[in-house]
A and B are shown apart, each in its own frame.
Chain A
């Protein structure tokens, strides 16, 4: 099992803030909007350095999505910022009609996704956002795994012409991907080549998958671990190549099992290559208050859950 060096421990939302700040310097077309969560979204630096390109919209997310759609018409590239819950479910019809159906080049940047939002509880912990957004025709859905990758993804989506949903989180997590990486939308990243089971993980669960890989190696199991940072478009080729070798699958995500990464991979494999698959995610439940670590444990989103799923998948071969 390959060793990964933890450079530091940082929140992915700060990766977004760093990426946006860099875009402010390099791309004059980039503008930003925020719904009264500038500090939480780490958009302060952009706001300070480019006040003429930053729009505080107040607690009015529906309007924010419409204004963003309008800004694209003059050739600008708007990045909207609020929590994932308010970036998706609250404004679904605005995104559907004014952005997705209208083909507008809006970057919907969503923080505090999943249970790791923590103490605020289920009202703020959206676990359905990937599903909501991936169902919209033409919407790109990205969930990077650490600070460096979130920064790189933020920079990359400015170069892509079309609507994008970029999902990231609140807690500090191991930052282990390369600081100078070039982010390629839709390109799965091989983290560890293996032969016994394919583990496809996204977002915060990528590091958990690496931890699981080490635990499995102690049991003599050689897991292939792939970071699926882009849920849509899905890297079908990378998934099929891996599974054709390992013959069984585990998916891992901080999201409902319904509608998430695992759901997308099940759809692919049931059509192209039906094989044993186990899924780690939240099983048709809302979250609750607690620390991020407590919640990850309670909702079965730990490395050990991935290990157990892998053993089960292997036993079903």
Chain B
């Protein structure tokens, strides 16, 4: 089992999922799986990591402690980011009509598997 296989399983189990990736907080993606050729998460790794660092800062400003998860809703997609061990996070991108609840569940299930591979 490798990162890509776990990510592929997540994407295939969620209606409307476009892609998933494991990214370091330094913005460099470790691995990804996408269903759309023009949707490249690795190319935007630094942007995902900026969002995570902004979220951490916001949690700190409001005294809410450690950040566990970030959800971004945009005009074209929804992105879920969940924190993992060792300054890594896993992200799943969905179409606007994607199954968000299922996406979060599958990501939560995948995290222990991904952490075993680190």
Answer yes or no: do A and B interact: no
